Amino acid sequence: MGADSSGPGGQQAGRAQEVRRGAAVPEGRLSALAERASWRLLFDYLRPHRGTLALGAVLALIGSAAGLAMPLLAKSVIETFGTGRTMLGPVLLLCGAVLAGSIISAVGSFVLERMGEGIVFGARTRLVDRILRLRVAEVDRLKPGDLLSRVTADTTLLRAVCTDALVTAVGSVFMFAGAAVLMAVMDVVLLLITLGVVASVGLVNALILPRIRKASTLAQVALGEMGSALDRALQAFRTVKASGAEHREIEVVSAAARQARDRGVTASAWQSAAGVSAWMSVQLAFLAVLGVGGARVADGSMAIASLIAFLLYLFYLVAPIGQLVQSFTQLQNGLAAITRIREIEELPGEPTVAALRADGPPVGVTFEDVVFRYGDDRPIVHDGVSFEVRAGGLSALVGPSGAGKSTVFALLERFYSPQSGNITMSGRDIRDWDLAELRAAVGYVEQDAPVLDGTLRENLTFAAPDATEAEVRHSLARTKLDDLVARLPEGLETQVGHRGVLLSGGERQRVAIARALLRRPRLLLLDEATSQLDAVNELRLREVIAEVATDTTVLVIAHRLSTVTGADRIIVMESGRVRATGTHAELLADDDLYRELATTQFLATATP
Ligand SMILES: Nc1ncnc2c1ncn2[C@@H]1O[C@H](COP(=O)(O)OP(=O)(O)OP(=O)(O)O)[C@@H](O)[C@H]1O
């Protein structure tokens, strides 16, 4: 029971709400969310790679150590000036340190970069896995463009954190500590002056960093909104063109892009402020050390070589401070991205549904007093729906638009769960069916019969990848597509185009039926297209449905009189209830609504 839910707890439901609201998330809530995306989340990503991380860090440290030795080696070179001693030894040592330090640093940074790519790969595959396993109800609330941006843009930010930021931070901390220790050995007073100035940078940054994270989160949300806006326009591309709405859609996408830019600019402004504070502190430290150190050189208490070495170390401090500040700002962007990735990862998903095949006798279906609404804040769609569809034969659901017919199919597929009432298939509550077994037993052909980009063969075997050539040919013959395949230049290997645009509406519908039949369903749910089919296609579809109904239960949402006249049983729905059931002749005699539908809507599309 309820195997298709990992239990949306209150917290998860709350997160789903945040995702749904997208850019409309109030800023206060955002910072609370960002807080939750703590270091712990980052460590979760890093934990499986801790061996590589340690190796990369050690190499980065050795590289930094070689760098740290340079001022000392430079000092020894300077000290040979005018002494008559040969400079060859110290110079060779200096060159060796430069070379070794560079190579070791490069290897260390490659190891960490590679680890970063591994982390991003892991995050992307987990995210895609989660998205494709989400419950239909969750996907209804999410925007595809925003999801895409989380898989691409947000994970890219994660890489920046795990590679650049981490590589730099590890090296910088060591460089900073090493330089500080060596400076302490050389002159404690000058070091204290330096550290005093540097501490002020830390203080300023502590105030700036949360602002960077907030601005960065908002910028990523805006980027997701932009993706959604573009996706909306592309999904309805022909409608956009036909409505002359290009400029309006361009404006919608541009507005989202503008918002992303503005928020990005805010984040950059704070980042610049952090950078400036680091730069200023180093300049101040340099001036202070130069002043105090110069005075001590003048009074003879300090050698000029020591002051030069100290100032060199001070510059060794400059780079790590700047880099640390940069790493921390990058980290803020990364943590914002991690929060967005986690929001999706924590949504409830369904268990794996393997591509099984049903193979069994036709099944009957019953609805008993089913009450359903799509969300707590939504109106009731099924208000005590009860009906029975016996095993085998053709049954039709009819009723005005919005009566709840397609919802019957969605509930049978367990895309949603009813609030009350029982649905059984083959006498067994559908909640007791294993989800994979249930979905294998039910073939589902949606109204707009989606055909995926790819070849005709890929589309046919989509639900049954192990189907044999003979089975494919058989399903083509049953759905009367064999003459189409014979006409196509590359037969089954012909590309059908994005969303099957190269096929006609009738052909798409029959391809979708053939695809469903290849899985040998025990119940075929067919949402008939409302669009007009030409007489030949309509006749073919009718023949296909009648033929399939000889060995499977077929439940069709009928929009054509020709379909219902041949049905064994018709269920008339109105306003979320079943108002009548019977044969065409019985309903024509007994039910006013059916009579009206039959003489208006249905007749309009009937073949002579
Ligand atoms: N995913 C959804 N989320 C929220 N509400 C929905 C969803 N799908 C359908 N509804 C609502 O449920 C009601 C019934 O929809 P349903 O698609 O079942 O009607 P129908 O009888 O199949 O209509 P039609 O013949 O026009 O397809 C409609 O008011 C619709 O707005």
Question: Tens of pLDDT along 60-110?
Answer: 778 777 777 777 777 777 777 777 777 788 788 888 888 888 888 888 888
Average pLDDT for 367-387: 93
- Which of 484, 474, 473, 486 has the alpha carbon at shortest distance from 506? 484
Average pLDDT for 134-148: 85
User: Do residues 341 and 384 share a domain?
Assistant: no
The residue written with tokens 């805006």 in the block is 222
Most confident of 121-125, 167-171, 575-579: 575-579
Interval between CA 127 and ligand 1 midpoint (Å):
29
Residue 17 has pLDDT above 50, yes or no: no
Residue 410 has pLDDT above 80, yes or no: yes
Query: Among 313, 345, 377, where does a domain finish?
Result: 345
352 within a domain of the structure (yes/no): no
User: Do residues 332 and 392 share a domain?
Assistant: no
Phi, psi of 60 (to 5 degrees): -65, -40
Mean pLDDT in the chain?
A: 81
**Closest C-alpha residue for ligand 1 atom 30:** 402
What secondary structure letter does DSSP report for 513?
Answer: H
User: Do residues 97 and 203 share a domain?
Assistant: yes
**Closest C-alpha residue for ligand 1 atom 7:** 374
Q: Which atom of ligand 1 is nearest to 403's Cα?
A: 21
Question: Cα–Cα distance between 431 and 351 in angstroms, integer?
Answer: 14
User: Do residues 339 and 402 share a domain?
Assistant: no
User: Do residues 380 and 320 share a domain?
Assistant: no
User: Do residues 450 and 593 share a domain?
Assistant: yes
What is the model's pLDDT at position 501? Answer: 65
Between residues 333 and 32, the one the model is more confident about: 333
ipTM rounded to 2 decimals? 0.96
- Which of 113, 101, 104, 220 has the alpha carbon at shortest distance from 166? 113
- % the chain with pLDDT above 70: 89
Pocket lined around ligand 1, Cβ cut-off 6 Å: 140, 374, 378, 381, 399, 401-407
Burial zone of 509 (CB within 10 Å; 0-12 exposed, 13-18 middle, 19+ buried): buried
149 pLDDT band (50/70/90 cuts)? confident
Average pLDDT for 355-384: 88
Interval between CA 416 and ligand 1 midpoint (Å):
13
User: Do residues 33 and 135 share a domain?
Assistant: yes
Query: Among 310, 345, 380, where does a domain finish?
Result: 345
User: Do residues 413 and 309 share a domain?
Assistant: no
**Closest C-alpha residue for ligand 1 atom 24:** 401
Question: Cα–Cα distance between 155 and 41 in angstroms, integer?
Answer: 14
What is the model's pLDDT at position 418? Answer: 95
Interval between CA 406 and ligand 1 midpoint (Å):
6
Interval between CA 382 and ligand 1 midpoint (Å):
10
Instruction: Say how many domains are in the chain.
Output: 2
Residue 444 has pLDDT above 80, yes or no: yes
Q: Which atom of ligand 1 is nearest to 408's Cα?
A: 18
Question: Cα–Cα distance between 425 and 302 in angstroms, integer?
Answer: 93
Q: What does pTM read for this prediction? A: 0.71
**Closest C-alpha residue for ligand 1 atom 28:** 402
- The full 3-state SS of 219-236, as one line of letters, equals HHHHHHHHHHHHHHHHHC
Residue of 139, 374, 556, 573 to test ligand 1 pocket, by largest number of atoms within 8 Å of CB: 374
Interval between CA 289 and ligand 1 midpoint (Å):
75
User: Do residues 498 and 585 share a domain?
Assistant: yes
507, 459 Cβ separation under 8 angstroms: no
Residue 508 has pLDDT above 60, yes or no: yes
284 pLDDT band (50/70/90 cuts)? confident
Q: What is the CATH classification number for the domain harbouring 94?
A: 1.20.1560.10
2 within a domain of the structure (yes/no): no
- Domain containing residue 475: 365-605
User: Do residues 114 and 195 share a domain?
Assistant: yes
